Structures are given as structure tokens and as C-alpha cells.
Amino acid sequence: MRAATIRDKEIVIEEHADPAPQAGEALVRVHAAGLNGADMMQRRGLYPAPPGSPQDIPGMELAGEVAALGPGAERFAVGARVMAIVGGGAQAELATVHERLLMPVPDALDWPAAGALPEVFVTAHDALFSQAELRSGERLLIQGGAGGVGTAAIQLGRAVGARVTATVHRDELSERVSALGCEAISPEGFAERGPFDVILELVGAPNMAENLNALDTGGRIVVIGVSAGVKSELNLLALMGKRARIHGSTLRARSLEEKALTARRLEHEVLPLFGASPPALRVPIAETFPLERAAAAYERFAAGGKLGKIVLTI
Ligand SMILES: NC(=O)c1ccc[n+]([C@@H]2O[C@H](COP(=O)([O-])OP(=O)(O)OC[C@H]3O[C@@H](n4cnc5c(N)ncnc54)[C@H](OP(=O)(O)O)[C@@H]3O)[C@@H](O)[C@H]2O)c1
């Protein structure tokens, strides 16, 4: 099979041996695979894939058809349309995935949308609802609203009846972000637009002191992305006074059981909304690239300024 491959911190296309499904696994013929910030770090050698995943083939999410089943795998039949988060190896013609991580692709979604959905919708759903316990009527601030997780979180917040505000630091994207169902604001002076019950932090440490100022009593901050920095100074008296909570989370390090649970919750609570009429959720895609142009897709992602996702089609 052909696969995007990391060689000397660059992305090239190489031939690899076809993977074979082990017990409980499905072999998936991949049709689309979304890019993520972690792929950019893995390419630079800063974020190795977890043990058991291919180390040189990147890709944390995929959508495709089941091509074969390993011993004991029975959740999906050969030919079923499936999608999943994986530890690595998604940006290839074939990938093996444990069947408990697979989700059915809603009929309403084409391959690029399905390949760009799992990582950002699972991350946003887990952060907002499993961790921050966001409820209807609460005020939600999303720091970094124009990217993959941000555009998913805006729509999920709106779907549950929260009042959503999102920071967007490129003026030219503000209108399209607000069209997803939020008030799009400049990052400068965001705390004055509060107070907020929940803040989803996708940018990092430089926002944290002001996040605390912008939080209402009983508020929650969930830290998911730290590309702008990892250390900040916090006023713990303010944290106590507001009876506030700060959560942090990563998905990649979780056990199979924990990852399977996030997939089941998405299946039951979120996927039906893509098939509603009109759809209550969609997957914003900035650009698709064929596998042969994977290096260009990485450059496009790293350049920033996109709305939503960059996807490889295979
Ligand atoms: N913890 C986890 O399990 C987990 C899972 C998925 C993702 N992540 C992390 O979460 C972060 C977001 O992921 P993603 O997929 O949404 O990445 P993304 O698509 O690159 O989105 C990040 C967004 O933040 C914007 N941004 C950067 N600095 C900003 C600022 N100061 N104010 C407002 N917006 C700003 C970016 O704009 P520009 O493009 O204009 O720079 C971009 O729109 C990444 O760091 C990613 O690695 C963590």
C-alpha cells in the first residue's frame, strides 16, 4: 500500500507492506484522513506515535470501508462505512483499527467530512460535556474558534442550547465563524465580554490569567491546546473565590476502553445530528488534497488561517 511517510522531518509517499488485522481489528480501506496539529508535531519528531501504532506513517483519524476482519471482529461487516480515531497510521491506503474504536459513518456525510470528523468532534464533545459538564443556557467561550476543534465546539455548544462566544484572531474569518452559531470576537479584551460559565482553551497559557478573570462563579476552564505556551501564573485566590475548576485532557494517551467510551458517546449523542433535516451539525473543510500531495497538505495546515479542517483523500 502507499502511505504518507515521515522521512527526515518531511512528508513523502512510500510503499509499505499491507497491514493485517489482528484479533478484534478491522482492516479499513481508507478514503479520507484529516490532518491535525499533532501530525505537524510528529513530522518534526516532537510527538512520537504511541506503542503499537506505525511510527513513520502519520494520521490520527480516518474514514473508509471495512476490507477484512481479524479473528473475533464482528461489529461491522465487510463493506461497511466506518470512521475512527487511531493512534497513528491513518494517512495510508489501508489501516487496521480495533472494532471498538470504529463508528458508523452517517449516510449524510461524504468521505472528506467523515475523515475530518472523529478527532475534533470527539475532542470537543469530551471536553465540553464529559469534563466541563456544559449545560443548556450556560455561556461558553471558545479560545481559538476558527480551527477544527473550535468549529466543532461552537456547533456542539449551540446544539445543546449554550450561548457561544468564540475568539478569532483573523478578521477575514469572523463572519464565517459566527455563521456556525456563535458571536465571533477579537481575542483582545475578551474578558470584558464575560462572565462565562465554561471556557474551552485551544490556544494555551497566555490566555489563562484572563480566562480566570472572565469566569463566573462555579465556572470551568478546559485546557485542550497549548500551541501558544504551556506555563502561566494564576491567582489562586481568584480560583478559590469563584469556586472554579480547571481541567486538562489529551485523547491519545487513553486506554482502549476509555477511547471506546468516547466513540460510543459520540455515536449516541452527536452522530444523529448530522442526519437531521436541516443538519444540526456539519464538518467545515477548508481544503482537500489527494494523498500524492500530502506534503502540500501539511504546508497548508502549518500556514494557518484556515476555517475548519484540511483533509487527505485517498
Ligand atoms: N488535548 C487533546 O486531546 C487535543 C485533541 C485535538 C487537538 N488538540 C490541540 O488543540 C488545539 C486546537 O486543535 P485544532 O485541531 O482546532 O487546531 P487548528 O485547526 O490548527 O486550530 C487552531 C485555531 O486557533 C487559532 N488561533 C491561534 N492563536 C490564536 C489566538 N491567539 N486567538 C484566537 N485564535 C487563535 C488558529 O488560527 P490560525 O490558523 O490563524 O493560526 C486556528 O484557527 C491544537 O493545539 C491541537 O494540537 C488537543
Is the C-beta atom of 37 inside 6 A of ligand 1? yes
Find out whether 93 and 2 touch, Cβ atoms under 8 Å.
Answer: yes
Query: What's the one-letter identity of residue 44?
Result: R
Note down pLDDT in tens along the chain; length 314 residues.
999 999 999 999 999 999 999 999 999 999 999 999 999 999 999 999 998 899 999 999 999 999 999 999 999 999 999 999 999 999 999 999 999 999 999 999 999 999 999 999 999 999 999 999 999 999 999 999 999 999 999 999 999 999 999 999 999 999 999 999 999 999 999 999 999 999 999 999 999 999 999 999 999 999 999 999 999 999 999 999 999 999 999 998 899 999 999 999 999 999 999 999 999 999 999 999 999 999 999 999 999 999 999 999 99
Q: pTM score, two decimals? A: 0.97
Is the C-beta atom of 170 inside 6 A of ligand 1? yes
Find out whether 147 and 168 touch, Cβ atoms under 8 Å.
Answer: no
Q: Give which of 173, 202, 168 is closest to 186, Cα–Cα.
A: 168
Q: Give which of 224, 233, 267, 299 is closest to 4, Cα–Cα.
A: 299
Ligand 1 pocket test, pick from 203, 266, 309 with the greatest ligand atom count within 8 Å of Cβ, gives: 203
Is the C-beta atom of 203 inside 6 A of ligand 1? yes
Nearest residue by C-alpha to atom 44 in ligand 1: 225
Ligand 1 pocket test, pick from 35, 36, 165, 193 with the greatest ligand atom count within 8 Å of Cβ, gives: 36
280: Cβ contacts below 8 Å, ≥ 6 apart: 155, 159, 273, 274
Euclidean distance between CA atoms 61 and 284, whole angstroms: 16
pLDDT for position 181: 97
Q: Give which of 171, 183, 239 is closest to 211, Cα–Cα.
A: 239
pLDDT for position 252: 86
Distance 177 CA to ligand 1 centre (A): 14
Distance 48 CA to ligand 1 centre (A): 19
Find out whether 155 and 120 touch, Cβ atoms under 8 Å.
Answer: no
Find out whether 24 and 98 touch, Cβ atoms under 8 Å.
Answer: yes
Cell triple for 151 = 468549529
Nearest residue by C-alpha to atom 10 in ligand 1: 225
Task: Write out pLDDT tens, residues 76-89.
Answer: 999 999 999 999 99
Distance 10 CA to ligand 1 centre (A): 22
Distance 199 CA to ligand 1 centre (A): 14
Is the C-beta atom of 130 inside 6 A of ligand 1? no
Nearest residue by C-alpha to atom 34 in ligand 1: 144
Find out whether 273 and 279 touch, Cβ atoms under 8 Å.
Answer: yes
Nearest residue by C-alpha to atom 22 in ligand 1: 147
pLDDT for position 73: 98
pLDDT for position 176: 98
186: Cβ contacts below 8 Å, ≥ 6 apart: 167, 168, 169, 171
pLDDT for position 253: 84
pLDDT for position 141: 98
pLDDT for position 152: 98
Distance 149 CA to ligand 1 centre (A): 7
Question: In 3-state terms, what secondary structure has residue 245?
Answer: strand
Find out whether 68 and 1 touch, Cβ atoms under 8 Å.
Answer: no
HSE (side-chain half, CA atoms, 13 Å) at 64: 27
